[in-house]
Structure 1
Amino acid sequence: MTTIDLNSDLGEGYGAWRMGDDEAMLSIVSSANVACGFHAGDPAGILKTVKAAAERGVSVGAHVSYPDRVGFGRRDMDVTSAELVADVIYQIGALKGIAAAAGTQVRYVKPHGALYNRIATDAKQGAAVIEAIRAVDPSLVLMGLANAPILDLARNAGLSVVAEAFADRAYTPAGHLVSRREPGAVLHDPALIARRMLRLATDGTIEAADGSVIRIDAKSICVHGDSPDAVAIAREIRRTFEAEGIAVRSFLTQSPA
């Protein structure tokens, strides 16, 4: 049976400000990228999300970010390697403590937003993130953009990796994500998105923004939790997969690359 991981960015509320529907998403996804406080998330909300993930058997990952709450971690930052190493260590450590209190553990690391996009091709910042992961726990898996150089960089440093594709984002012909500043960068139609992801899961291809077909080898698919359509999108993807005999399971039950 074909299996694929479905993940979402969760734990992103802050105080009285609610972001996304974590409870609903945790009943659909197999992996949860949990905010660590640098782009979003407060301690009580993060703990609640991790406890809920543990109760449902959902794998927990550290969703590390630049220190950018105001910009939701989506503003690029030219930080030093030493700063980035320390920031990532701090965030992973914080989530590891919360996970231990919730009776589960952090199994992987997925950088968020601008940091994710930057390290996809920036070897210097990528190396800093890898160094931080190895310093805390070299058994942690790095989740990164499918086909991006960061995956080979991490493998060569001894980390396991999992390649990821995005359900609700448009792709360029080169296999990069279309900038959120461009029209059509974010997709909203659950049925259309589910068909795209079914093609990805069965054929390993996806249609780029210009209509060309590109190959993407991914073991995990992300639905952004902050999208107003997130729950409907994730639910339709899972329904479509199961109707076609594709099981939604954590990539940790598969073989990391």
Structure 2
Amino acid sequence: MVTIDINCDMGESFGNWTMGRDAEVMPYITSANIAGGYHAGDPHVLRETVDLANEHDVALGIHPGFPDKIGFGRRQIDVTPQEVADYVTYQLGALIGFAKATDLDVQHVKPHGAMYSLLSQSPEHARAVMEAVLDVDPSLIYLATDMHIYEVTEEYDELTAVFEGYVDLRYNPDRSLIVEKQLTPKPTDEVTDRFVQIATEGTVEAANGDTIDVPAESICIHGDGPNAVELLEAIHDAADEHGINIAAPSA
């Protein structure tokens, strides 16, 4: 039986500002990428999100970003490899603290927004982050959002990496994502077909009609999408129909 993880970015609310539909989405996912307080989130939201994940037996991961709440971590910042590694270590430590208080382990690391883009473009920065993750806990899984980053993870025998695919975004022929400025409702048939194709064949149809390789062991759903819950319900139905097991990855 094919097994695939469903991950979602979580804990991105801050103070009185609400982002996403965490309570509604959490029952349908197997891994939560939780904001570490830099691009989004705060200590109280972090604790509440850990508790919510625990309630639904969802694996914990840190979603570290640049210190840029006004820009939601999507603006590029000029940082050295050591500085970006420090950002990741700091935010990872925050999640580990709340996880330990609840007697839970942290499973994975998935950089956010402009930080992810920097790591994709600069192998030097990517290596610094991966080495920092290994220094904190070699059992942590690195969730690689594109092949540039995934290829760098392969330089480290001791690092477990999981390649991630997307089903609520379309792909360019070069396997880069077509990122929307604002998320729009997605047709459930289109999303479930993409999910089944990635899970069972490791491929997806690009925007130009080409079939491209997307060897994903985890798929991401945007929890702040207008019809995220409906998409997740349809994905679970499709998984049952096609004999696909949904579970968090293991190191």
So what's the TM-score if we normalise by structure 1?
0.92
> Unpaired runs of 5+ in structure 1?
none
Instruction: State the SS of the aligned residue for 1:156.
Output: coil
Q: 5 Å matches for 1:165-244?
A: 165-180=165-180, 188-244=186-242
Matched with 2:31 is 31
Distance, in Å, in 2 between the alignment partners of 1:192 and 1:118 is 30
Which residue identity does 1:207 align to in structure 2? E
Which residue identity does 2:216 align to in structure 1? A
Contact 1:120 1:144 (C-alpha < 8 Å) held by counterparts: no
Change (3 A) 1:56 1:96: same
So what's the TM-score if we normalise by structure 2?
0.94
User: How far is 1:143 from its partner?
Assistant: 0.3
Contact 1:120 1:149 (C-alpha < 8 Å) held by counterparts: yes
Distance, in Å, in 2 between the alignment partners of 1:240 and 1:178 is 24
Distance, in Å, in 2 between the alignment partners of 1:166 and 1:76 is 22
Q: Deviations over 1:140-185 (max 9, x none)?
A: 1100124x1322322322311000001111111011112435x9x8
Contact 1:168 1:187 (C-alpha < 8 Å) held by counterparts: no
Q: 5 Å matches for 1:21-60?
A: 21-60=21-60
Q: 5 Å matches for 1:108-123?
A: 108-123=108-123
Which residue identity does 1:245 align to in structure 2? G
Contact 1:204 1:216 (C-alpha < 8 Å) held by counterparts: yes
Contact 1:119 1:125 (C-alpha < 8 Å) held by counterparts: yes
Q: Deviations over 1:198-244 (max 9, x none)?
A: 11111111111111111110000000122222222222112211121
Instruction: State the SS of the aligned residue for 1:60.
Output: strand
Contact 2:185 2:225 (C-alpha < 8 Å) held by counterparts: no
Instruction: State the SS of the aligned residue for 1:214.
Output: strand
Distance, in Å, in 2 between the alignment partners of 1:242 and 1:39 is 36
Distance, in Å, in 2 between the alignment partners of 1:122 and 1:231 is 35
Identity of aligned pairs, percent? 39
Instruction: State the SS of the aligned residue for 2:60.
Output: strand
Matched with 2:16 is 16
Matched with 2:248 is 250
Structure 1 moving runs of 4+ over 3 Å: none
Which residue identity does 2:135 align to in structure 1? A
Distance, in Å, in 1 between the alignment partners of 2:185 and 2:78 is 29
Distance, in Å, in 1 between the alignment partners of 2:86 and 2:129 is 9
Contact 1:47 1:102 (C-alpha < 8 Å) held by counterparts: no
Distance, in Å, in 1 between the alignment partners of 2:188 and 2:12 is 22
Contact 1:8 1:31 (C-alpha < 8 Å) held by counterparts: yes
Contact 1:165 1:221 (C-alpha < 8 Å) held by counterparts: yes
Distance, in Å, in 1 between the alignment partners of 2:50 and 2:217 is 22
Contact 2:120 2:126 (C-alpha < 8 Å) held by counterparts: yes
Distance, in Å, in 2 between the alignment partners of 1:150 and 1:73 is 19
Contact 1:170 1:187 (C-alpha < 8 Å) held by counterparts: no
Matched with 1:156 is 155
Instruction: State the SS of the aligned residue for 1:27.
Output: helix
Aligned residues: CA RMSD:
1.7
Which residue identity does 1:178 align to in structure 2? I
Instruction: State the SS of the aligned residue for 2:115.
Output: helix
> Unpaired runs of 5+ in structure 2?
none
Does 2:130 align with 1:101? no
User: How far is 1:13 from its partner?
Assistant: 0.7
Instruction: State the SS of the aligned residue for 2:177.
Output: coil
